[in-house]
Amino acid sequence: MPRSSADEIVLSYNDAVLRKSDLGILNGAYYLNDRIIEFYFSYLSSLHPSEHILLVPPSIAFWIMNCPDISSLTDFLQPLNLPSKKLIIFPVNNNDDVAVAEGGSHWSLLAFEKTANVFVHHDSYGGINKNHAKRLYKTIVPYTNVPGTRYIECDCSPQQVTGYDCGLYVLAIAKEICGWFDSDLPKNEDSWFARVVMRVKPEVVSGFRVEILELITSLRGTN
């Protein structure tokens, strides 16, 4: 059976693949899917090439949080080499059903920073994903091999003004955290939070769809 035009691949970037339907999501007022978030995380990894930074794809973050056999995670996580990372960023989705691909209705972000020894949850919609983020934190923290790690719900996280931009906030916040990590700013949550609050404004996020579309266009031109 022939593929529909919506399934047409428009860009392969590292391990991420974008299809024509993904461009439609970015062109409208729609909830971001896994592929777009994976692509932008992959782009940030290229923009900040460091063995100490890890941006975890949505599918891997989802499986860590929902894996029915926790004992199997040791082998699953070994290639990620988590103890060597100083900054790890996870997308958090509130889908609880491992049988449903790309389910859920909200994205948020969980970040681990090793110097401050802290996991921080950024939620752009009043913390509705906090239980999912806490579950991910409790699952992953033993594999970082860092004792005494703290968990923080960031109460100053920028808040979305629409019902569909949560994924854009995840990408915008991830961008600023990576920029903060590569800067000369002190490595503590205060300077991190200040940068996110200052730079991730609704008017910035509202233009982020166009920015990502322009990025895709430029990368297609170099392929």
Confidence check: pLDDT of 65 > 60: yes
Q: Is the distance from CB of 41 to CB of 89 less than 8 angstroms?
A: yes
What's the pLDDT tens digit per position in 118-158?
Answer: 999 999 999 999 999 999 999 999 999 999 999 999 999 99
Give the mean pLDDT of 40-51: 96
> What is the spatial distance between Cα 72 and Cα 76, in angstroms, rounded to a whole number?
7
CA distance 129 to 139: 16
Provide mean pLDDT across the span 50-65.
95
Provide the pLDDT for residue 1. 44
Domains of the chain, by residue range, sit at 48-204
- Check pLDDT > 90 for residue 223: no
Band (pLDDT 50/70/90 cuts) for residue 101 is low
Are 119 and 112 in contact by the 8 Å Cβ rule? The answer is: yes
**How many CA within 13 A on the CB side of residue 141?**
16
CA distance 63 to 221: 34
Question: DSSP string spanning 167-181?
Answer: HHHHHHHHHHHHHHH
pLDDT of residue 67: 87
pLDDT at 70: 82
Q: What is the C-alpha separation between 171 and 73, in angstroms, rounded?
A: 26
How confident is the model at residue 96, as a pLDDT? 78
With a pLDDT cut of 70, the percent of the chain lying above it is 94
Half-sphere exposure of 215 (CA within 13 A, CB side): 18
CATH architecture of structural domain 48-204: 3-Layer(aba) Sandwich (3.40)
Above 90 in pLDDT, residue 103? no
Residue 102 Ramachandran class (φ > 0 left, ψ -120 to 50 alpha, else beta): left
